Amino acid sequence: MTSKRGGGYAASPDRLNSKFSRAPLIAKEPAIRAPSGEVHAGRYDNDCQDALASRLDDLLDQAQAAGWNRIRAASALMYLAARRLRGA
């Protein structure tokens, strides 16, 4: 919580302490793995689908948990993906 003092804002002790108690940053793995081959390699499309599948499932799970019909959400994602191909 901050309070106004003398025209400025002073940070609360809790906020100041949290600035100094941060754990060191640890490099995270990317959310989606990198391709293992060149764009023109035979397995490139399959590898890309495999890399995206679990993230897509997570997104559909989130949409369904929010109350969206899973099949309609998947259809919406196909539509959005197709629209992005037009600009490619």
Q: Look at residue 64 and tell me if it is in a domain.
A: yes
Residue 83 above 80 pLDDT? yes
Q: Look at residue 69 and tell me if it is in a domain.
A: yes
Q: Look at residue 12 and tell me if it is in a domain.
A: no
State the pLDDT at residue 46.
Answer: 94
Q: Look at residue 59 and tell me if it is in a domain.
A: yes
Instruction: For residue 80, give its domain range.
Output: 34-88
Q: Look at residue 14 and tell me if it is in a domain.
A: no
pLDDT tens readout for residues 19-59: 555 666 676 778 899 998 898 888 999 999 999 999 999 99
What rounded mean pLDDT belongs to the chain?
A: 81
| Cβ neighbours for 44, distance < 8 A, ≥ 6 positions apart | 35, 37, 38
Q: How many domains does the chain have?
A: 1
* pTM, to two decimals: 0.61
Q: Look at residue 8 and tell me if it is in a domain.
A: no
Task: Please state, in angstroms and rounded to a whole number, the distance separating the CA atoms of residues 74 and 56.
Answer: 9
Q: Look at residue 65 and tell me if it is in a domain.
A: yes
State the pLDDT at residue 60.
Answer: 98
Task: Please state, in angstroms and rounded to a whole number, the distance separating the CA atoms of residues 53 and 46.
Answer: 10
State the pLDDT at residue 24.
Answer: 62
